[in-house]
Amino acid sequence: MKKIFPILFVFTLLLPIQVKAAPPRNPSMAPRASVGVPGGPSFRVANVVRNTSITIQVSNFPTGQKYSVTLGKIGNQFGYGTKVGVLDDSMGIEFSITYSIPGLLHGERLLGVQLKHNITGARGYDIFENTTGWNSSKPYSLYPDASSPTDSGGNSVTILGGPTFSVQDVIQDLKVTIRLSDYPINEKFRVTMGPVGEQDNPGRDVGLIDGSFGQNFSIKFDIPEQLFPEDEIFIRLENTFTQNYGYAAFTNAHPWAHVPLPPSASSFTSSQVTSTFSGGTPFTAILNVVANSEVTLQTFNFPADKEFIVTMGQNGTRGIGGLVVGVQNSGLGGSFIATYPIPASLQNETMIAIRLQSTTSGHYAYNWFYNSSGNDPVVSTSTGSTLPSLPPGMYPTFSVSGVSEDNSVTITTYNLTTNDTYTVIIGAYGTYGIGGTVVSSQDSGAGGTISATYVIPPAFYGATKIAIRLESPISGYYAFNWFWNDNYP
């Protein structure tokens, strides 16, 4: 609700066919007992302690070989994970080993673990759920459990599996104080604010709460300047892991009053709602490849509850008329992750096209990938071509030259590689864009300096700060930055 001011007149101035996609609610992917590294060992996730450690069981480790172990977020080919250790034959042929989960990955629900040969680059990967007691014999869920908040007349809010909180004090256009009780010390909660009437949207980021504050405490947050004109404001706490959330509302005045709000009518979290099909064009991003074996991709903007035929073919065919490798049900639609086998007849191809085509609605999306483990770029020896590169010590960078709030961002690049293609990703602040939303593909042309504008996805409307990333699946170069989500200049 906007403030009303009196006017004074003053005279001054797919998964494979045998493993069809999961049902609409909490779909899961089938477990894999172990993962093999081409020419190397096999491994499985033996145990996970959430936000703390992962234990892997390694078998058939080859003599005289060495492998690095990385943990990372799902997406972007797992290429920007954190190295957590090295394996060599001094550990034996069969062994278990435990690694700490880096702090940057705490709060993530799904993570990837990867073994990579230090010389050949051969690698194997698996996806695991960052949940205590998880192991490779269990499936992982692509969607977190979520719950609407309970609200006691606007006076207090209890979040499923989380704390109870209430508004304690308000200083108009300046600060709000909330009181939390029974805070679970291992959880993190994102804190946002927005105008009453929009409380099922995330709102503007104002802070992050973790267990360092204790179990019962009060904490103050600044009211964003953009909300100064509002009479009534909601404050929302959302678990960064489960995405369970709760909100309360208050009048932007002193003295202030509670604003009673009904519980949300939706059983889904805001992130699930905004990820469902909203008329955008379906597209896919390649996450990972095991050479001559399988490809993992992520979908975006897919319609809900549709059957898709998944085909693969030679590069340039867009997958049209290709070999059927799976049937995929889109479930809730929007974004999901799936893995498909590479047919035997395409296993010697350097590049392969993949296509998802709806059997009923006409929706489709196609992409292509290098048939090399980890989706690493390859050099064509038949033509003698080389990958785009820069002189030693030189890397791509870019600056943010303009922002239209909740609409678009304009960047100016420097030192781009020539004749390269960069994937443009927008994500939450602090993520470097890793695992974010793919918004465009940028041809570098002659390289160097270019200016380009990209659309801000609806999922980030209202965010105070946003990360943006450019990365090339061809050359491997990347650059990242962040910007304030306010009109600029």
Write the pLDDT tens digit of every residue in 174-230: 999 999 999 988 788 889 899 988 776 667 888 888 888 889 999 999 999 889 999
- Spatial contact of 133 and 47, defined as CB atoms under 8 Å apart: yes
Span 150-268: which CATH code? 2.60.40
Neighbour tally for 458: CB within 10 Å? 15
Q: Where are the domains of the chain?
A: 31-138, 150-268, 275-375, 397-484
Can you identify the CATH homologous superfamily of domain 397-484? Neocarzinostatin-like (2.60.40.230)
- Report d(CA 402, CA 240) in Å as an integer: 29
Q: Using alpha carbons, select from 420, 327, 309, 419 the residue that is nearest to residue 366.
A: 309
Span 275-375: which CATH code? 2.60.40.1930
Q: How long is the chain?
A: 489
For a pLDDT cut of 90, what percent of the chain falls above it?
21
Helices (H) and strands (E) in the chain, counts: 1, 33
pLDDT in the model for residue 263:
55
Model pLDDT for residues 112-167, shown as the tens digit of each residue: 888 888 888 777 778 788 888 888 877 665 444 455 455 555 578 888 778 889 99
pLDDT in the model for residue 197:
80
Residue 461 has pLDDT above 60, yes or no: yes
Residue 8 has pLDDT above 50, yes or no: no
Separation of first and last alpha carbons in the chain: 28
Same fold, 31-138 and 275-375: yes
Q: What CATH fold (topology level) applies to the domain 31-138?
A: Immunoglobulin-like (2.60.40)
Q: Tell me the three state secondary structure of residue 212.
A: helix
Helical segments of 243-395, H only: 270-275
- Report d(CA 212, CA 217) in Å as an integer: 11
Q: Using alpha carbons, select from 17, 129, 94, 104 the residue that is nearest to residue 467.
A: 104
pTM of the model: 0.44
Confidence category of residue 24, pLDDT binned at 50, 70, 90: very low
The pair of three-digit structure tokens given for residue 260, joined into one six-digit string: 């009673």
Number of Cα atoms under 13 Å in the Cβ half of residue 163? 29
Q: Tell me the three state secondary structure of residue 213.
A: helix
Burial (0-12, 13-18, 19+ Cβ within 10 Å), 321: exposed
For a pLDDT cut of 70, what percent of the chain falls above it?
78
- Report d(CA 367, CA 286) in Å as an integer: 8
For residue 180, which phi and psi values (nearest 5 degrees)? -115, 140
Residue 20 has pLDDT above 80, yes or no: no
User: If you average pLDDT over every residue of the chain, what do you get?
Assistant: 76
Number of Cα atoms under 13 Å in the Cβ half of residue 29? 21
Is 83 or 280 the better-scoring residue by pLDDT? 83
Q: What is the DSSP letter of 252?
A: S
The pair of three-digit structure tokens given for residue 358, joined into one six-digit string: 């709806």
